[in-house]
Every structure is written in C-alpha cells, then in structure tokens.
Amino acid sequence: MRSAAETGTRMHEDMALEPQEHGRLVARREGDHAIVAQRLHRVYGTGRRFSRQHDRIIAVDDVSFAVPRGTIFGLLGPNGAGKTTTIKMLSTLLIPTRGTATIGGYDVVRDERLVRRHLGVVLGGDRGLYAKLSARDNLVYFGNLYGMTQASIRRRVEEMLDLVNLRDRAGERVEGFSRGMKQRLHLAKALLHDPPVLILDEPTIGLDPAAAVDLRHAVAALAPAHTVLLTTHDMNEADQLCQEIAIVDQGRIVAQGTPTALKARVAGERRVVVTTAQPLDSRGLDMRAYLSSLRGVRGVNQDSSAMGGSALTILCADTAATLDETLAILRTQGIMISGVRVVEPTLEDAFLAIAGRSLD
C-alpha cells in the first residue's frame, strides 16, 4: 500500500478541529478574497504503472480563481471536468501536484489545521454521517469532534436543525432519512462550527425538484455572512445562486464571469417565438421574408405548431422591438396569436458556444 504522502491523499476525511478558545476565527490576513487558487494542478496515477506517462490523468490543469468574501462562486462543468478534485485540494483532502491555494489567507498545504477550522465541507454521497445515530446525535457527535464546548454544541445543534428544517425529525435514525434529508443534514454538519467558508460539491444532486429548491434557498441564505464555493452541472442552479461562475472543462477554466456576462457572450442567441392560431402558409403569407428584413433580425424559422397553427422563431438582438413589430404585422393581417415567448440565452447556450459541445 502506498502511504498518504505518496498518493497525495489525507488519511482522514473528517475535519478534525482545534478547540476555538477565542470564539470565532479571524482570518489571518484581511483581504478581499476568502478563497484563492493559483495554478492548482493535480495529476492522478491510474493503476500500477503509475510512473508511465500514459497512465496519468491530468484532472486539474493550472486552475486559478479568487472568490471575494461573502459571495457564492460556482464551478460548473461536465463529468470528469475536475471540479471535485479542485475542491478536495481546497479542502485539504488532496495535496496539489503543484500550485497553491489559500482559504482565509491560510495555505491549504502548510496551514492544514487552520484551513480546516475555516471550512465547512459537504462532499455529498452517503459518507460522513452515522446511519445508526439520530440526526441530532450525529450533530452532537461532530460538535464534540470539532472541539466545540458543550454549551455551544447544545445551542448550535438546535439552530442548525432549524436552519435545514429537520427539527421535527431530529430524533430519528439517519438510516431512515431520504436523500434530501441526508443532504440537508450534511449542510447542518458543515455549518455546525460556524465556519466563514463553505465548500459544497453538487449540493442538490439526486434531489427531487422541490427538495432542490429548498436546499438552494438554504445555500443562497449563507451569503453574505459566509463565502461559498459550490460545484454543479446545473446551469440554472449556477445562474440562480452564484455571483460568479468558472466554467471548467477537461481540467481547465474555459470561461469565467458573472452569469449575466457569460450569457452576454451569446447575446445574439435571443429568440422570440410567436405561435399563431391558424397556419400562416394557408393564407399565402411569407412572414419569413418580411421578418428577415427587420433591423437586428438574424434568422427566422417558420414551422407548424403542435396546436395546428404556425410557430415563428426569430433570432434577434433586440427582443422587445422585434416582438413589437412581429405582433403589429400579424395584427394588421388579422391573424390570431396563440402564444408569445421570449427565450433568453441560458448558461447552457453559453457553455455550448464556449466549449463547442453540450454540458452533460
């Protein structure tokens, strides 16, 4: 068996913490960024022939970013992009092959213990909770492990059970919990010692839509009191929660910015979709030619709609002006409109435009 130093993994994944004698931790350096990654790089060996070049996978390839205090930052990317590997390095669970990172000004390799005191981590999956213990007893157990005082454990456990809406089920064993309940308990556990920085790996994966909405509310409420780094495959989730997003693909950041800025990169992809009650063809109208001549219109598609009428899809720069003109001409022709939709570019569109393929 290889030692932890050889494999670059840490021996224990649970965050063992020092007692917090002086109350809440204060960052060593006052700075604007709670999380800083500088050219983080991680190579995995696969199998026995570890030393041979072709048996190595570059999971994270010189990734750099900085997360301003009190904000939510998203790492978005397809399977195998290197998201989990990046956050394991930031959480001190994996040693970078090269590059550096700091949490609250502390180095993730040199100041491992201090970094852990600053961090709450939710890695997801079933690990990290004791199935035979109740939700409350799990939190009490981890409070003790974190070195919290009995008084603060009593107070924080109840506060966290309230925060994640598990107070009513707190006495039940975790083995009987649904996935969404376990995920919320993971978040409560990560927040127990009141860390200023939270790292969440795909917090809503596997949850039903209602449970995902609940958890997103809980995550959104963490800022600005906390700084949050999360990973997700879900464009809409990143769009809703994050002030800034880095799109990761094959170990590299391929684009970074606010959700609005990323979507603006595909701003030409705005579409207006108008459906009519009757088919336009039957009236001998060439709407396509007319609409194509309007200013700012880049393309027009005319199909039959599911309801027996026509659907006009207009690719344009200014959706409001184009919609106005389209409705005006249809009205002057006495055509009944059965639906109107403006399709703004999504982050999915942005990813497609940037990475040249879809995000799945």
| Region near Mg ion per CB under 5 A, out of 62-70, 75-83, 267-275, 294-302 | 75-83
Residues 224-243 that bind ligand ATP (CB under 6 A): 233
| Region near Mg ion per CB under 5 A, out of 2-10, 58-66, 79-87, 92-100 | 79-87
CA-closest candidate to residue 156, choices 167, 140, 133, 177? 140
85: partner contacted, choices Mg ion, ligand ATP, none (Cβ within 5-8 A by kind): ligand ATP
Question: Per CB under 6 A, does 57 bind ligand ATP?
Answer: yes
Size of the site for ligand ATP (CB under 6 A): 13
Judged by beta carbon, residue 111 or residue 201, the one nearer ligand ATP is 201
The Cα-based distances of 142 to 17, 286, 315 in angstroms read: 10, 69, 54
Helix axes 150-163, 135-145, angle to 10 degrees: 140
> What's 309's DSSP letter?
S
Judged by beta carbon, residue 81 or residue 330, the one nearer ligand ATP is 81
Strands (E), 51-192: 56-68, 72-76, 98-103, 106-107, 119-122
| Region near Mg ion per CB under 5 A, out of 42-50, 76-84, 107-115, 287-295 | 76-84
Judged by beta carbon, residue 84 or residue 310, the one nearer Mg ion is 84
| Region near Mg ion per CB under 5 A, out of 61-69, 80-88, 295-303, 304-312 | 80-88
Q: Which member of 36, 40, 76, 81 binds ligand ATP (CB under 6 A)?
A: 81
**Residue 101 backbone phi and psi in degrees, to 5:** -155, 150
| Region near ligand ATP per CB under 6 A, out of 12-20, 81-89, 158-166, 274-282 | 81-89
Q: Which member of 16, 46, 113, 178 binds ligand ATP (CB under 6 A)?
A: 46
Which amino acid would we find at residue 155?
A: R
- Minimum CB separation of residue 329 from Mg ion in Å reads 50
Residue 255, by phi and psi: left (phi above 0), alpha (psi -120 to 50) or beta? beta
Question: Per CB under 5 A, does 232 bind Mg ion?
Answer: no
- CA pair distance 187, 182, nearest whole angstrom: 9
Question: Per CB under 5 A, does 102 bind Mg ion?
Answer: no
Q: Which member of 34, 40, 75, 84 binds Mg ion (CB under 5 A)?
A: 84
Judged by beta carbon, residue 57 or residue 327, the one nearer ligand ATP is 57
Q: Hey, what are 345's tokens?
A: 């570019």
Helix axes 179-191, 150-163, angle to 10 degrees: 140
- Minimum CB separation of residue 83 from Mg ion in Å reads 5
327: partner contacted, choices ligand ATP, Mg ion, none (Cβ within 5-8 A by kind): none
Beta bridge partners of residue 200, listed in sequence order: 122, 230
Residue 321, by phi and psi: left (phi above 0), alpha (psi -120 to 50) or beta? alpha
Q: Hey, what are 29's tokens?
A: 């350096």
Question: Per CB under 6 A, does 133 bind ligand ATP?
Answer: no
Judged by beta carbon, residue 78 or residue 257, the one nearer ligand ATP is 78
Judged by beta carbon, residue 46 or residue 144, the one nearer ligand ATP is 46
Residues 6+ apart with CB under 8 A from 268: 298, 315, 317
Residues 6+ apart with CB under 8 A from 352: 266, 358, 359
Q: Which residues bind Mg ion (CB under 5 A)?
A: 83-84
Residue ranges in contact with ligand ATP by CB under 6 A: 44, 46, 57, 59, 77, 79-85, 233
